[in-house]
Amino acid sequence: MFLPAGSQDETGIQISNRLRAAESFRLVTKKRNFKTISTPVVEYANTFTNQMAGMDLHSMLKWFNAEGEIEVLRPDWTAAIARAIAGQHPSEQKWSYQGSVFRFDKDETENRQAGIEIVHADQFLGEAESLLTAIAYLKNLTIDTYVIELGHTGIFDAIVGPYHFDEKQELVLLDAMHDKRSDLVEEIVTQAGHPALAEPLVALIDAYGSREIINTYRERWKKHQDLLDILSHIEKLMDLLESAGVTEVIVDLGRVKNLPYYDGIMFRGFLTNDGSTCFSGGRYDRLYEQFQQKTSAVGLAFDVDTLAKHMNAEQEPEKICILATPATHAVAEQFRIDMEEQVVDIQYQLKSDANYQKIYQVVEEDSQYKVVEK
């Protein structure tokens, strides 16, 4: 029997690390007063494809139900959580979730995620709590070589806002900025009749790096209070992250939203050793407008599969075997219960390829059973 492309069985360290990552996430978020939420794996496609969520149906695992409506395997947590908590009392602000998302456009069809959503909270508090929870979680997993990147959707919006682009041009321009494709950016704005926009946008493509970028752009944008406010906002979060011990915080001022619901700060964590993205998230107040709510919403999701690959292997406890018989199995079981720190296996016969640090056997002495080392 074969597996479809993008699916895989798991054994050994990967699954043990993933389970540890899940438990660690539960403990870290519980300590930080997050309330656990879960949504169904099967949802209506519209939850994710509506105008506010704006996700592409092509990449979803989907089918028609008996009523002819399109159902999907959950492709994204944020839109599903928004649907689920829109009706909750606003006093509930902090939510955490764990589970899989399913997409065709990734190397693996199933991707395990663990994430948080903070709604109805003060904007900076929500962003700070999201990022500090990410740091605490990575620390708990003993992952300490990572870079956090900050961006903001408002920068592109503020620069392009005064100029008119039709819908198609704007989408192509966003894609070109997303790909840092400077020649196409220049071509689109020129074709749209806004050649003056080429220089600032092409420069913005290269506006990534450490804190000096903020200082450079503070000078460059000194007449644009809206952009200066965004820079101050990003810098406040940089200060917070550095105070919390993050060794490398970078900015990408040219980063644009890759989902229409992003609406403000965007963050992403890269693992330094191989560059894989371990978490991403940001602000998405706009997503709640579909539920007639004008509120604050921010969150991030960890890629648990990526984390599991990068976690150190768990220290294996001592592995022992007790040789027993059907008649002495209960005695061996009692001995196992008493061995709290060890991995204890019970066998009736020792296999030739067995790999135990110690072997015990149940023996009878003076009509009493006892367990002794062999």
**Site for other proteins (CB under 8 A): how many residues?**
17
For other proteins, give the closer residue by CB, 118 or 213.
213
For other proteins, give the closer residue by CB, 149 or 263.
149
Among 20, 35, 180, 194, binds other proteins (CB under 8 A): 180
Among 127, 129, 252, 285, binds other proteins (CB under 8 A): 252
Q: What Cα–Cα distance (Å) separates residue 114 from each residue in 24, 177, 264, 349?
A: 10, 29, 22, 43
For other proteins, give the closer residue by CB, 14 or 276.
276
For other proteins, give the closer residue by CB, 183 or 373.
183
Cβ atoms within 10 Å, residue 48: 23
For other proteins, give the closer residue by CB, 26 or 181.
181
For other proteins, give the closer residue by CB, 5 or 327.
5
Q: Is 277 in the site for other proteins (CB under 8 A)?
A: yes
Q: Is residue 32 exposed (0-12), middle (13-18) or buried (19+ Cβ within 10 Å)?
A: middle
Binding-site residues from annotation for L-histidine: 76-78, 103, 113, 117, 261-262
Binding track over 106-145 against other proteins, x by CB under 8 A: ----------------------------------------
Q: Is 209 in the site for other proteins (CB under 8 A)?
A: yes
How far apart (Å, rounded) are the C-alpha atoms in residues 53 and 61?
A: 17
Least distance (Å) between residue 114 CB and other proteins: 20
Q: How far is CA 366 from the centre of its chain?
A: 61
Least distance (Å) between residue 84 CB and other proteins: 29
Structural contact between residues 103 and 75, judged by C-beta atoms closer than 8 angstroms: yes
Q: Is 250 in the site for other proteins (CB under 8 A)?
A: yes
Sign for the CA dihedral angle at 87, 89, 95, 97 comes to negative
Structural contact between residues 263 and 285, judged by C-beta atoms closer than 8 angstroms: yes
Judged by CB under 8 A, the chain residues 26 through 85 that form the site for other proteins are none
Rg (CA), the chain: 27
Q: How far is CA 14 from the centre of its chain?
A: 17
Q: Is 272 in the site for other proteins (CB under 8 A)?
A: yes
Q: Is residue 4 exposed (0-12), middle (13-18) or buried (19+ Cβ within 10 Å)?
A: exposed
**Interaction site with other proteins (CB under 8 A):** 147, 149, 179-183, 208-209, 250, 252, 270, 272, 274-277
